[in-house]
Amino acid sequence: MSETAKRILAGLALGAFAVGALYFEVFNWVLPLVLILVFSLMGLYEFYHLTDRGLDGAPFRKLGFLFAILIILGFYAHFLTIKTRFGFEPDATYAMFMHWFYPGENLAILLIVFCFIVCSAAQLMTRPLDGAIYSILVTIGGIVYTTLTLGHGLLILAYPRGVFYLVFFVLLPILMDSGAYFVGRWFGRHNAGLKVSPRKTYEGYVGGIIFTIAVANAVVWGWKEWANPGVREITFGHLEVSLLAFGMAILSIFGDLAESAFKRDANIKDSASTIPGHGGMLDLADAIYFCLPVAFYYMLVREMLGFGF
């Protein structure tokens, strides 16, 4: 099977799996929790691999994973808290869980600070001093990059019609990525001259943006037309979708290039080879990491301005 076919098949399989996990409400939405957790930790694992410089500094892997898990649990409690605003009634176990993981706010800030403190202590007690700053900062940086970002996916999901919005916002960077890839391959003539990613073409970028805007509009149109009543009342108009798709496409370019820059800085080609045809989780999700938090804030501001979720 060709690389491209592998890439498409693996992408579709993963997509179907992910959408299924978001759609089925098993045991207080535990599937999205597991999904976000797995995607975060896989990305974190690869980021830690990327940034390991041996004696010059290396992440505190176990501590990083521990805090990433706690932070995702914090986001999950935040998710359940938002859900209760829209009619979800937690049972006693969950009330207890939420009490400790959401004492009036998302614990992520506090956990990031604690991670800094604990890593500093670990550095002092278990490692030589060289590379102290680097080691502590990559441990935290990996969590910010892969975990704080994806955690916002859970928050988007918590609002009414959240499944649509989350899938939509994950779809945009994927559309941009595949659009740019195929248009660049078929019609690419003019190299964009980017040192960080030398094979990118202007045609690819422009084609990817147009493709993203077109498919995003088609998806929204189809959703409003055919989705079940009760979930199809999304408040996106086509002008808004077009601008949004354009903005997210640009953001995706930066997400993609940033990950390439990290790999070049670390002299590594693929972040891993976990996903057939795609490389690693970081290669697959680089643009999604950047898009989800911005999307959440966009939706939040939109709601504050009275447009609804």
DSSP state letter for 59: -
With CB under 8 A as the contact rule, which of the stretches 15-23, 34-42, 124-132, 209-217 interacts with a second copy?
124-132
Candidate list 293, 298, 302, 309; residue touching a second copy; CB under 8 A: 293
* Dihedral pair phi/psi, residue 236, rounded to 5°: -75, 130
Q: How far apart are CA 184 and CA 181, in angstroms?
A: 5
Rule CB under 8 A: say whether 110 interacts with a second copy.
yes
How far, in Å, are 10, 136, 177, 203 from residue 17 at the CA level? 11, 35, 20, 32
267: left (phi over 0), alpha (psi -120 to 50) or beta: left
Sequence-distant (6+) residues with CB within 8 A of 169 are 156, 248, 291, 292, 295
Residue ranges in 272-291 that form contacts with a second copy under rule CB under 8 A: 290
With CB under 8 A as the contact rule, which of the stretches 147-155, 182-190, 221-229, 234-242 interacts with a second copy?
147-155
Candidate list 67, 79, 164, 262; residue touching a second copy; CB under 8 A: 262
Candidate list 99, 190, 224, 238; residue touching a second copy; CB under 8 A: 99
Candidate list 5, 30, 113, 243; residue touching a second copy; CB under 8 A: 113
Structure tokens at 226: 């055919």
* 116: Cα separation from own chain's centroid: 23
Q: How far apart are CA 250 and CA 2, in angstroms?
A: 29
Instruction: Please say which residue, 122 or 227, places its beta carbon nearer to a second copy.
Output: 122
Structure tokens at 259: 């990950």
- Residue whose C-alpha is closest to residue 172's, from 212, 208, 205, 211: 212
Rule CB under 8 A: say whether 195 interacts with a second copy.
yes
Give the amino acid at 28. N
Candidate list 38, 196, 210, 227; residue touching a second copy; CB under 8 A: 196
Smallest gap from residue 109 Cβ to a second copy (A): 5
Rule CB under 8 A: say whether 206 interacts with a second copy.
no
Residues that bind a second copy (CB under 8 A): 50-51, 78, 99-100, 103, 105-106, 108-110, 112-114, 116-117, 120-121, 123-124, 128-134, 136-138, 140-141, 144-145, 148-149, 152, 195-196, 251, 254-255, 257-258, 261-262, 264-266, 290, 293-294, 296-297, 300-301, 304
